[in-house]
Structure 1
């Protein structure tokens, strides 16, 4: 197990190739859900990254701000002309404040796991609640931990097998602290790129309790942004946490 947990390390390694590696991800369904809950109000995205979700939201006429811990990821966002119009603070989204309220706060694509501890995750919910307007919503997208996928604490998974690129992840499980230490290996014609990442994985019910501690309550949970039903077989989910009146 590594001696430290730096949630910004992933961005330092992957920022230059993030959009290319995740080109297959569509933001359409997420944007539709977020815009619907915003109903013309402002949106704050924790972990805004390169702007995959923020860009279409802003293009649709919504005011969008962001917080991200990786200067390298924000630099990629700023390289786009539309990126200059977004207010983005570089900092820890569990504690950084922007001094205004929002109709929606978003934490997408499993980014809750990038935080190093349960306390940091609890604080993220409190920070989201502090940024929300009365009855605003905090939208969290995450995966369901699959500890059974590890054999003797280790796993090798093929994430992508495509012409010109193979993406493989080698991971080690640390169940005592709910942490996964992993390295993704991106094989391309240009060589091999190592992308280290750490997760403090969290269970759906654990997030629900964090929400209650922050004055939020679970309103809905779906399997995905298309609002598919969340079942025993679901490997991902989107949770809608409403601020208590």
Structure 2
């Protein structure tokens, strides 16, 4: 599946969940706080800006934000919240598209780098971030740690959430280092809808090598946006890479 086949008009219309999930204040506010700190008064560029979940509140905190986004329907949804003057968006692939200017911070949140389905594309994304940064600039990536230990022996998939209105499962292809997330939603009439998204998962050590190939050094890694210690039990990480000054 191509990304433009996934992030359709329908997906964009249902993407935002104000006040809930990844739009909940307890998730979003620490994210924006950390990005304001890292931007350090300079402009920021968001790869895969989507509907502006992070870009809009970051812009309202005084950080000039530009975005790169492949999906025109997602950009259209962003435009209901912020004008081009407020958040400029370049329509294109985050691994190759170019935004004007030099930035203090490039960031990529909520596992979006895994939407690039080959190692070569992911390395190109790191290099694209480096091209956009001023000397000493930072590239932040938020990413889950692959949860392969949760796979039952001999089984290709694991359920990561289940309740009366939503069931989510991940199906793994271990040889290709890929997974497909299946999101089943059940409405109040019992009707079921399915949304699928493919990913290439990345181990932290592999991501560090991608960063080195692009000229970055690892500056910090934490388990979450609050700065918790990253350990062997962490299920996600916030990694910050920096270019030499």
Fold conserved between structures, TM > 0.5: yes
Task: Count how many residue pairs are aligned between Structure 1 and Structure 2.
Answer: 237
In the alignment, is the contact (CA less than 8 A) between 2:150 and 2:158 conserved in 1? no
Structure 1 range deviating more: 5-14 or 197-206: 5-14
In the alignment, is the contact (CA less than 8 A) between 1:66 and 1:86 conserved in 2? yes
1:231 aligns with 2:228: no
**Whole-Å Cα distance in 2 between the matches of residues 209 and 29 of structure 1?**
27
In the alignment, is the contact (CA less than 8 A) between 1:181 and 1:197 conserved in 2? yes
In the alignment, is the contact (CA less than 8 A) between 2:162 and 2:168 conserved in 1? no
Distance 1:211 1:158, change over 3 A: closer
**Whole-Å Cα distance in 2 between the matches of residues 178 and 22 of structure 1?**
33
Shift of residue 24, structure 1, vs aligned partner? 2.5
Deviation string 1:153-212 (CA, Å, 9 cap, x unpaired) is 432425363xxx622123321111100023211112263221111010000011100000
Aligned to 1:10: 6
In the alignment, is the contact (CA less than 8 A) between 1:95 and 1:123 conserved in 2? yes
Shift >4 Å, 4+ stretches: none
TM-score of the superposed pair, with normalisation by structure 2: 0.91
TM-score of the superposed pair, with normalisation by structure 1: 0.91
Shift of residue 35, structure 1, vs aligned partner? 0.6
Structure 1 range deviating more: 199-208 or 69-78: 69-78
Which structure has more relative contact order (CA 8 Å, sep 6+)? It is: 1
Aligned to 1:23: 20
In the alignment, is the contact (CA less than 8 A) between 1:9 and 1:197 conserved in 2? no
Query: In angstroms, what is the RMSD of aligned CA positions?
Result: 1.7
- SS for the counterpart of 2:7 is helix
**Whole-Å Cα distance in 1 between the matches of residues 113 and 167 of structure 2?**
22
Distance 1:158 1:203, change over 3 A: closer
Counterpart among 158, 161, 175 of residue 159 in structure 1: 161
- SS for the counterpart of 1:27 is helix
Aligned to 1:206: 206
Runs of 5+ in structure 2 lacking a partner? none
Aligned to 2:146: 145
